[in-house]
Amino acid sequence: MQMDILKFQQIALPLQCRHRRGGSASYHSIPTMSQNSQKQIAEYIRARYALLVIESFEEERVLSELQRISSELGHDFYVWNSTLGICSGGKALDKKTADFQAAIDFCEGKAQEQGHKCLFVFCDAHPHLSEKNNANAVSRRRLKDFAINIRNKGYLCNCIIISPTFEVSNDLQKEVTILDFPLPTKDEVRGIITRFVDSYRGVRGVTIDVDDALIDKYVDASLGLTSLEIENCLSRSLVNDRRLDEKDLKSILNEKKQIIRKTGILEYVDSHLDLNDVGGLQTLKKWLELRSHCFDDKAWSFGVHPPKGVLLTGVPGCGKSLTAKCVASAWNMPLLRLDMGKIFQGLVGSSEANIRVALKTAEAVAPSILWIDEIEKGLSGSSGHGGDGGTSTRVFGTLLTWMQEKTSPVFVFATANNINGLPPELLRKGRFDEIFFVDFPSKEERKKILEIHISKLKRDLGKFDTDRLADLCGEKTFGKDVVLSGAEIEAWVGDALIDAFTRRMNGDQTADLEMSDFENTIRRIVPMGQMRKDEFARLRKWANENAVSASLSATPTAAISQNDNNEQFMAGRKIDF
C-alpha cells in the first residue's frame, strides 16, 4: 500500500534532521569536511589561537566539525547564539547569557577553572562586533580583553566565531585569525548524495532509479552547493513525484541559479546556442574546441591545467558576446555574466567586497565561465585618475590577482571594444591564455552569417544567391574597406523580412522573403565601418602587433590582400591548426 502524503513528507527531510534525538541537536550526521581542513583547524586550536573566525553559510556543518575536533582534543564544547545563550550538549545553560557580554563573562568563568579545556563557539556574534555601530565598541573591548587573558593567563580555551561574512574592525584586527571553511569537495558531495539515496532505497512508495553513472552526474551538478542545499534539492525532488531519476538533475541546476541570483552581482545566462551559430571566426572556434576537454579529471591526471581565459577585442557587433553564449552551451558549463556596474557602490569598502563575493561565487559553481562584457568600461578608473578615492584601482587589483593566482576551473571570457581603455597589466601573459582580434567579416564569413539568419527564418536557402548577398553587404556596395558587421547583417535580414511582410499585408498573399527585399533595404543602411573608419584602422594596427586573428586565413598573404573577398578584414597574427 502506498504511503500517505503526510507520512512521506515527514520522511523526505534533510538527513541531519532524522538523526536528532531527545530534542537535542546531534551534529554528527552532518557530512564531514576534508582531512586537511580538519587538521588546520585542530592545529590552530592546539596552538591556542585565542580568536578564530570561520566564514561560512553552513553553520550546522561547521558546528559538526568543531564538535568532532573538540571531542578528539578533549575540550568541553559550548555554543552561543542570540536566542538561547550558552548551550552545551544541546541544552541552554543560562538564558541570561543571551546577552553577548554576559556570554563572554560566562565563558571566562569556565576558562578560569583549573585544567578545564574549552572550545567556545559564537554563532551570532558579527552584529555585536561591527564597527559601523558605535554601541558595539564595549562588546569588542570585552572580547579583546578575553582574548588577551587567554594568552596571558594561560586559559586552556579558544573562541571561534561562525559568520557568513565578517568585517574585522581595526581594534580586533591583530587579535583575529580568519579561517576558510571550503564547500564540500567532490568526494564529500558523493558521500552526501550516496547516503541520501541509500537511506530511501526500499522505502515503500518511493522509486530510486539511480545508478553509479547517475550519481556521478548528480555530483558534477552539485559542486558548489552546500550540504544542506544538496539535500534540499533531493528532498524536494522526492516530495514532488516520489522518485529520484535523471530528470532531477534540473532541480540541482536550478538551485545553482538561485545561488547566483542571490548575489545581485552575477547574472546566470541561459543559452541554447552552440558554436555553429557563430558565422566565421574559425581560428577562435578551433582554439575553444581544443580546450573544451581540459576541465575534466582525465585532463588533470594527464597534467593539463584548466585554461585561464580569453580576451576578445575588436569591432563592435562582430560576434564577441555571441561567442560567449555559444561556448557555454558547447562546453556544457554555467555562464555567469559579471556586471561591473553593479560592483561599484557608494559605501566605503562595498565595491571591494562585491568583487570578492562575485569571484567566490564563480568559484563555488565551478567549472564555470565568467563572462565580463565590455570590460574596459568597468575598469575605466583603474589607472588611478578616476576620482573615486582609489576604489577602481583596488577592485582592478583584486580582479588581476585572482586571474593570475586562481586554481579553480573558472574560465574568464572577457570582451572589449576599445582596447585603449584597458590597463596594460591586464593584457600581459598570465591573465589570459590568448587575446583574439575580431574584425569585420570576410566575404565567406558574411555568406555564412546570412545562411544562419535566413535558416533561422525557416526559409529555403536554395532560393537565395548568398554569394550575391555577401557581395551586396560588402565593398561593392559601400566602397573600399567598408562592409557590414555581423550585427548589421542580422538587422539587414530583419529589415528585408519586414519589407516582405508589408507586401503581404498590402494584398499580395503569396509574398515572401526574396532577393529583391535584400536589394531594396541595403540602400537604407549606413555602415558603422564607414562612420568610424579611421578608428578601426588604428585598432587593426594594434591587433597586427598584439593579438591573434579570430578568423582563419585563406592564404598566407591574406593580411595584405585587396580583393573582393575582403580578407584585409582579418587583422592580427594569423595562426593555423
222-278: per-residue pLDDT in tens?
Answer: 877 888 888 888 888 888 888 888 888 877 777 777 777 777 788 888 878 888 888
Q: How far apart, in whole angstroms, are the C-alpha atoms of residue 474 and residue 522?
A: 10
Residues 6+ apart with CB under 8 A from 411: 295, 306, 307, 308, 309, 310, 331, 333, 367, 368, 369, 370
Are 211 and 197 spatial neighbours (Cβ–Cβ below 8 Å)?
no
pLDDT of 564 strictly over 60: no
Among residues 248, 207, 198, the alpha carbon closest in space to that of 2 is found at 207
Residue at grid coordinates 537511506: 199
Poorest-pLDDT segment among 187-196, 209-218, 452-461, 551-560: 551-560
371-413: per-residue pLDDT in tens?
Answer: 998 888 766 555 555 555 567 788 888 888 888 888 888 999 9
Global confidence as pTM = 0.70
Q: How far apart, in whole angstroms, are the C-alpha atoms of residue 260 and residue 334?
A: 10
**pLDDT tier for residue 455 given thresholds of 50, 70 and 90:** very high
Q: For the chain, what is the mean pLDDT?
A: 82
Among residues 12, 7, 1, 10, the alpha carbon closest in space to that of 199 is found at 12
3-state secondary structure 353-389: HHHHHHHHHHHHCCCEEEEECCHHHHCCCCCCCCCCC
Could you tell me the CA-to-CA distances from 554 to 275, 491, 558 in Å, in that order? 20, 27, 6
CA dihedral 167, 171, 176, 180 (to 10 degrees): 10
Residue at grid coordinates 586559559: 155
pLDDT in the model for residue 105: 94
Among residues 297, 315, 316, the alpha carbon closest in space to that of 306 is found at 297
pLDDT of 321 strictly over 50: yes
pLDDT in the model for residue 10: 39
Are 306 and 367 spatial neighbours (Cβ–Cβ below 8 Å)?
yes
Taking phi first (over 0 means left), then psi (-120 to 50 degrees means alpha), and beta for anything else, what does residue 336 get?
Answer: beta
As a whole number, mean pLDDT of residues 425-445 equals: 87
Residues 6+ apart with CB under 8 A from 209: 243, 244, 245, 246
Q: How far apart, in whole angstroms, are the C-alpha atoms of residue 74 and residue 58?
A: 24
The separation between CA 516 and the C-alpha centre of its own chain, rounded to angstroms, equals 47
Poorest-pLDDT segment among 104-118, 250-264, 302-316, 525-539: 250-264
pLDDT in the model for residue 12: 38
